[in-house]
A = this chain, B = another copy of it.
Amino acid sequence: MPDLSEKMQLKKNKILSSSLELFTEKGYINTSTRDIIDRTGYGASTFYRYFNSREEILDHLLSDFLGSIIQRVYDYYAEEKDLYQRFIETKRVILDVFIENPEMAEIYSRAAGTSPAIDKCLQSFDDRFLKFSSQNIHYGIEKGVFKNEPVPPIAHAILAMIKFAVYKWIVRKELSPAGMTDMVLSFHETLAVGMLKSPPSEDRD
């Protein structure tokens, strides 16, 4: 909807922020479309002008969240040109976005497996993340920094590690934000050695 008036955009944002509040308070699976409509204070017809279901809202929230992550990674790329440093430090940038958005971290970590519609939303997030991550690894291979190893398993492992670390931080409270970041970065340092054509130079540490 590119021609949303300012007033319509405000209403849409109000629906999204009310949904995020409810998903955080009650959990996504315990929040009904009715709850969202009540929280916004609008009528049902207003809700359905923008969204068909709470799944569509989840999809929208996750898509915006991934958009922020990718934007932040590109901002970081503008400053850092070393591909080894990028491989490691990009994960700090990504985890920072999770740390700044604990509600989204919570939703992302809790929703998986609860319904086919939700899995579709998460799949779309994960697929875009995997594509983005794979492109960056391919770039490192083309530039001769990384060995020509199969990319999809590495991209999957990176996403899997981020998912698990975020889950241990936000759901299980076993890790602090700093502990989560240290764990993910340490793993990437070990993994990078298996990927690099030549070992990282000393001054990189």
A114 within 8 Å of B (CB atoms) = yes
Centre residue among A149, A154, A161, A168 by max chain B CB count within 10 A? A161
Chain B positions within 8 Å of A193 at CB level: 193-195
Judge whether A119 and B187 touch: CB under 8 Å: no
Chain B positions within 8 Å of A154 at CB level: 187, 190
Chain B: which residue is nearest A159 at the CB level?
B164
Q: Mark A44-87, 1 if CB is under 8 A from B, else 0.
A: 00000000000000000000000000000000000000000000
- Which of B114, B150, B152, B164 interacts with A110 by CB under 8 Å? B114
Q: Which size bracket describes the interface of A in this complex?
A: 35 or more
Centre residue among A113, A168, A194 by max chain B CB count within 10 A? A113
Judge whether A192 and B191 touch: CB under 8 Å: no
Chain A interface, DSSP helix/strand/loop, else mixed: helix
Within A149-205, which residues are at the interface with B (CB < 8 Å)?
Answer: 149-150, 152-154, 156-157, 159-161, 163-165, 167-168, 171-172, 183-184, 186-187, 189-195
A32 within 8 Å of B (CB atoms) = no
A10 within 8 Å of B (CB atoms) = no
Judge whether B191 and A150 touch: CB under 8 Å: no
A8 within 8 Å of B (CB atoms) = no
Chain B positions within 8 Å of A114 at CB level: 29, 110, 113-114
Bound Cα distance A23, B103 (Å) = 29
